[in-house]
Amino acid sequence: MPATASPTPQNEIVNRLDTAVSEVFEMMLERSCDPLDGDVSIVDGRIMARIQFTGAITGECILYASQATAEVTAEALLGAAASQPCDPMVDDAIGELCNMIAGGWKNKLEHPQASCLISVPAVTREGLVALEGKFGTKFSRTYSFQGNVFGILLAF
Amino acid sequence: MRALIIDDSAVMRKVIERALRQAGLELTEVLQASNGEEALQALRDDGGKPHPLSLILSDINMPVMDGLQFLEQRRDEKLAVGVPVVMITTEGSEPLVLRAISAGAQGYICKPFTAEQVKARVMPLLRVA
């Protein structure tokens, strides 16, 4: 369930993110997904997808997942298991998950922020990266669906 | 019927195809392209086929050539004239929707989506096409 909190600007950002995550999982994966306590450091093994925002907002959305979580995500999206451990569909699925969450969050912003553009997703396995200090606002959030954990960093 | 799905994500192309089948479309062939340039080439190559395309679904954010450029180039080259185009994208901002419609898109679906939403947007276009 999306977090419920008083509508401070920070809580609004988190609530929009929780709602975007929930919508993507319910509509595209037919699963529920809930926020957890703790930041992305609790996510084991790292596949990382990144979406960049440009225009009215400059920033990025980074999704971290383990190989196991990525495989379950691909299976849920496709309705079939990945054919091999390094199936490119697994990375593709994590990229699309990040894309839909970042886009969903962006579309919930007020005008003119909602008119910012988002990049195509970039997926790597090079581990956790430190966000550069150029972004003034940063949020870390962790989510779980059916015991599978992934993390999201938002910075802008 | 034959459809063309344009998305840089192979996962999303499969998801969209599955949604079309769940919507009740009897797809005999699904052409796929990972960007607008590939899609334009597919349309150029498809010109003389006996069974023309019935539907085009396209993402917007793609490398090489995005979905809006694809729409504009398709219009300029007069490719697949009369075939309805539905944009399926994470980009839901009003300026982009208006630009897509002015470039020839007849429908717009925001990701994430359900099969029911795909059905509701696509079926009316096929009836009048």
Which of A57, A120, A123 would best serve as a mutation to test chain B binding (most B beta carbons within 10 A)? Answer: A120
Name the minimum distance, in Å, from the CA of B47 to any CA of chain A: 30
Compute CA distances A81 → A68, A74, A148, B13, B109, whole Å.
Answer: 12, 7, 15, 16, 27
Strand-pairing partners, residue B86, are: B57, B107
In this complex, the residue of B18, B94, B111 whose CB is nearest that of residue A100 is B111
A19 and chain B: CB distance < 8 Å anywhere?
Answer: no
Question: What is the residue whose two structure tokens read 């401070």?
Answer: A8
pLDDT tens for the 129 residues of chain B, in order: 999 999 999 999 999 999 999 989 999 999 999 999 999 999 999 877 777 899 999 999 999 999 999 999 999 999 999 999 999 999 888 888 899 999 999 999 999 999 999 999 999 998 655
The model's pLDDT over A83-107, given as tens digits with 9 standing for 90+, comes to 565 678 999 999 999 999 999 999 9
ipTM given for this complex: 0.90
Specify the DSSP class assigned to residue A26.
I
d(CA B127, CA A149): 44
Query: Strand pairing partners for A47?
Result: A65
Chain A CB contacts of B90 below 8 Å: 99-100, 102-104, 106-107, 118
Beta-carbon separation of A99 and B14 below 8 A: no
Contact B70, B103 (CB under 8 A): no
Neighbouring residues of A63: CB distance < 8 A, sequence distance ≥ 6: A48, A49, A50, A94, A97, A98, A101, A150, A151, A152
